[in-house]
A and B are shown apart, each in its own frame.
Chain A
Amino acid sequence: MAAPQPINVEDLNIYYGDFLAVEGVDVQIRPRSVTALIGPSGCGKSTFLRTLNRMHEVIPGAYAEGTVEINGQNIYDSRVDPVNVRRRVGMVFQKANPFPTMSIRDNVLAGVKLNNRRISKAAADELVERSLTGANLWNEVKDRLDKPGMGLSGGQQQRLCIARTIAVEPEVVLMDEPCSALDPISTLAIEDLVHELKEEYTIVIVTHNMQQASRVSDRTGFFNIAGTGKPGHLIEIDDTDTIFTNPTNKQTEDYISGRFG
């Protein structure tokens, strides 16, 4: 396998209909590392995250212009099938969303089963165990794999969603405030998991929690918005230590020191 390449974002403008939501993002996201995105509500960090696997355009009228290169391919090339992009760039959502009609096991296998791909029972068992182990959930659920996924606690459901995402073996995992609905213990479990996952995956995580950003990430990007109705910008991105101790930009310093707004 070739050495993983960074994600190159060049001059990306993101729209909701006529409204320019995020303007002119230029950034390089390092492979096999954790990049955190922070910023005030409505600044476009989640919107930006969703453009990295073409989930943004799922919203009616929404689109993006510019270049996002993953492994040397521009995912916004008109010949690219967004479905193929999403198979390689997985996503974990703010609210845990296991499929309510499926068991724990079927939830993990969702990427395989929903795509009508055939898989032997042995291979499926192996995939379920590997993915749940990877999501630190195996020991808690191994005796009740046939029970509904919705029966798990909130934190377990979120780890189930992570297991489901890594079961399709993506290269990149996007996380949109994955801990915002979880208690501190579940949050810790997920943060530990993020640390382990970065050995194999490139991770981009949006968070409102600056302590979390400083705990889990190698690099941190700060998004800000000049005012309501104006587009959001990526103000600054740097090593997490630098952002939290010695940011270049005055806005970043104000935000992380709580003097913002």
Chain B
Amino acid sequence: MSSPSTFENVSLLRPGEERRLPWYHLVVTGLAGLLVAIALLAIFDVLTVPSAILLGFVLHLLFGYTYSRIREGRRWAMDRLMTLVVIGAFAIAMFPLFSLLWAVVGKGLVRVIAAAPTPFAFWTADMSGVIGGADAGGVFHATVGTLLITLWASIISIPVGLFTAIFLVEYAHHGWRRRLGQGVTFLVDVMTGIPSIVAGLFGLAVFIAFMPDQSVRMGIMGAVALSLLMIPTVVRSSEEMLRLVPMDLREAAYALGVPKWLTIVKVVLRTAIAGLSTGITLAIARVIGETAPLLLTVGMVTSVNWNMFDGRMATLPTFINQQYRAGSANCMSDTVTNPVNQEVYACSITTNIDRAWAAALTLIVIVMILNIIARLISHYFSPKLSR
């Protein structure tokens, strides 16, 4: 008789493996859960597709666990349950994303493509002269406004944020600089928590304090308000990225007789550029959809205003807000005639709502393009490790 420690006597199988059932048993319990859910909901007359799926999934957890507990044992039943819970959590997390994309693309794309009078006119037309339920108009003015204001907000925030991050990572090491750095970090954290409407009030207050005209509204006021929201995000993400650059590389540059400022510019920033561009894009994406500060500071107009320093501007988020609040239009007949130039448009009750969805789609497309640009920068400038 061999001793118990002999290798061939020890099973390498996981405990309970011989009782393991094939995967399709779970499909059966899943279907059972769904059927019971449908039956229960039908009895109480509250049957809808989402409620059936949700209750069916919960019942599947119960049935699957019980079934597995009887056939496969406690250990495997817990494994099954946890797998299902993780999949369920993932589905819940993904649901809003796909639901949102589905709704925006579904409701916005038709209006963008089929925009009167020509396809894609929605992106090249503004709202001047569009009245009532006229199936016309577009977001060119709002797109210009959003891009200009976001550009100026970036022009203000990126240098301030990046230089702050460089100070924190490269200079705030010792003595008074260290204490200053701690203070700056604290203030940046405080700034992160500023509600966007308060940032808008700040943008308003700063300019009104210097202007004789109390009702002044300019694009640059909106850019200043947005930069207040953007700076802390840029500082935080850039700081993280700069700290990831190994000290080795800085020392390698110093040892070649490269001054500190050139080391920062040509080694640290260059090595971190992929992360920096991603962080900055996220910061831009965060402010490009801001509505409240822009409502306060730049207001709304119906035509294109290219001048950041004179007069109100339209922006996509405020446009969406305005169109949605306008609600359904009144249509006395099938057409609307512009009393000024006598142009005739089709009348649509849903035209305002349609424009809101199409503008939302436009905003998402802009953010997506920004993300793609950032990914391209990351791709072409990140450190090359392969042969």
Chain A positions within 8 Å of B, measured between CB atoms, are 53, 55, 58, 60-61, 83-84, 86-88, 90-91, 93, 95, 97-101, 110-111, 113-116, 147-148, 150-151, 161, 164-165, 168
Residues of chain B in range 200-257 having any CB-CB distance to chain A below 8 Å: 246, 248-257
Residues of B371-387 whose CB lies within 8 A of A: 381, 383-387
What residues of chain A lie closer than 8 Å to B255, measured between beta carbons? 53, 55, 86, 90-91, 93, 165
**For residue A110, which residues in chain B have a CB less than 8 angstroms away from its CB?**
252-253, 256, 258
Contact B267 A99 (CB under 8 A): yes
| Closest A residue by C-beta to B260 | A83
Q: Is the CB of B386 within 8 A of A115?
A: no
Contact B249 A87 (CB under 8 A): no
Chain A residues lying within 8 Å of B270, measured Cβ to Cβ, are 101
B14 at the interface (CB under 8 A from A): no
**Residues of chain B within 8 A of A88, CB atoms compared:** 257
Name the interface residues of B260-305: CB closer than 8 Å to any CB of A.
262-263, 266-267, 270-271
Kindly list chain B residues whose C-beta atoms are within 8 Å of the C-beta of A148.
383-387
Q: Which secondary structure characterizes the binding site on chain B?
A: helix
Q: Which B residues are CB-close (under 8 A) to A100?
A: 249, 271, 383-385
- Counting from the closest, the 5 A-B pairs by CB-CB distance are A87-B257, A100-B383, A60-B173, A151-B387, A91-B255
Q: How far is the CB of B272 from chain A (nearest CB, A)?
A: 10
Residues of A within 8 A of B386 (CB): 148, 151
**Interface-central residue, B252, B258, B271, by most chain A CB under 10 Å:** B252
Cβ contact within 8 Å between B384 and A99? no
Count class of interface residues, chain B? 20 to 34
- Count chain A CB atoms within 10 A of each CB in B251, B263, B385 and give the residue with the most: B251
Q: Is the CB of B249 within 8 A of A97?
A: yes
The answer to whether B249 touches A99 (Cβ under 8 A) is yes
Given A60-B173, A150-B385, A97 and B252 contact (CB-CB distance below 8 Å): yes
**Least Cβ–Cβ distance between A111 and chain B, in angstroms:** 4
- Bound Cα distance from A113 to B271, whole angstroms: 15
The closest CB in chain B to the CB of A90 belongs to: B255
- Which residues 32-74 in B have Cβ within 8 Å of A in the complex? none
A168 close to B257 (CB less than 8 A) = yes
In whole Å, how far is A225's beta carbon from the nearest beta carbon of chain B?
24
Contact between chains at B253 and A147 (CB < 8 Å): no
Cα distance, A165 to B270, chains bound together (Å): 21
**CA of A200 to CA of B129, assembled, Å:** 82
| B-side contacts of A168, CB under 8 Å | 256-257
Query: What is the bound-complex CA distance between A97 and B246, given in angstroms?
Result: 9
CB-nearest residue of chain B relative to A53?
A: B255
B387 touches A115 (CB 8 A): no
| Contact A101 B257, CB 8 Å, known A58-B251, A116-B262, A161-B252 | no
